[in-house]
Amino acid sequence: MTQQSYGIRPGGYRLPDATHLGVVRLQVSNLDRSIGYYEQVLGLRTADRTAERAVLVTAAESPLVELHTRPGVTSAARRATLGLYHFAILLPDRPSLGRFIRHLAAIGAHAGMADHLVSEAIYLTDPDGLGIEVYADRPRDSWQVNGSELAMTTEPLDAADVAASGGSEPWTGMPAGTVVGHVHLHVGDLDEGAAFYHDAIGFDKVVWSYPGALFLSAGGYHHHLGTNTWSRGPNPAPDQARLLSWDIRVPRRSDAAAAAASITAAGYQVQDDGDGAFRAVDPWGTAVRLVPEAD
């Protein structure tokens, strides 16, 4: 399957095929409690820590999540506000997901599960009500297309089969090759979200028939971003647990600058974050950073 066989390209600027995601930054109410959860349940490791911030990494020292706190932050009720629905950690292969499932069973952690055709997924909620997905992709050549749209659905997961794929090896934490695969956001309006993320930032639309949702990506991926209208809002309050920002990583400084110019031309404000990175805020207050991999 080639990238050109499905999807709707933006009319103007288009993100490079090599685009992928970087760090997600979360505001939490209790840093110690959240670190305990992300280490013990997810298998991340704290690499850097201050009184108000912690950086969590994989076994290969790759940073995935930054936790931030400050006085007065309160937990969030699921689907009560716009902004984060979940962020998603992509494991390198199905056996890793199988070992993770067995780990969750061993510690008695509650999780939801789903088969999305393109991927197999586990769903968790952190101590502040923030949604997390941990998943593994199916091979891209097995993905199905309906017309010009990639086929995605939600079906029951064969958890026993996935768990068996992990063999006899134990879960030892998030393995090398683990990355942030996608972010999924509650938005106030799908068309308004598409104006920002498709027309201005430059993601392709890849799935648009899923009820109440739109999925977007670069390079033919099934989605780097999901948007949905499954929450009526309001926007998250400054003092609640929430997604502070997420990184879109592009190959070069020129790519980040071109995306920033496209966002500006569409009428949105862009902030220079230094080192070739730029920041913009979507219509519901979620910040997204465009970060270059190299000069």
In one letter, which amino acid is 137? D
Tens digit of each residue's pLDDT (9 = 90 or more) over 122-148: 999 999 999 999 999 999 999 999 999
pLDDT of residue 294: 85
DSSP 8-class letter at 183: E
Q: Please, what's the b/e burial string for 188-224 (b: 16 or more CB within 10 A of its CB; e: otherwise)?
A: beeeebbbbbbbbbbbbbbbbebeebbbbbbebbbbb
**Residue 96 corresponds to which tokens in the numbers above?**
């890793």
**Does residue 124 sit in helix, strand or coil?**
strand
N- to C-terminal Cα separation, the chain: 31
**Is 186 within 8 Å of 234 (Cβ atoms)?**
no
- Whole-number pLDDT of residue 2: 47
Phi and psi at 198, nearest 5°, equal: -95, -60
Q: What is the CA radius of gyration of the chain?
A: 18
> Measuring CA to CA, which residue among 125, 145, 142, 143 is closest to residue 134?
125
User: How far out from the chain centre does Cα 266 lie?
Assistant: 24
pLDDT < 70 positions in the chain: 1-4
CB 115 within 8 A of CB 101: no
Q: What is the pLDDT of residue 4?
A: 54
Q: Are strands 83-90 and 131-137 parallel, antiparallel or unpaired?
A: parallel
C-alpha span between 31 and 132 (Å, rounded): 17
Helix (H) or strand (E) holding 162: helix 159-165
Predicted structure pTM score = 0.97
Question: What's the pLDDT at 3?
Answer: 45
- Strand order through the sheet with 131-137: 112-115, 119-125, 131-137, 83-90, 179-186, 225-228, 213-217, 204-207
Q: Alpha-carbon distance 39 to 252, whole Å?
A: 33
Contact 87, 263 (CB under 8 A): no
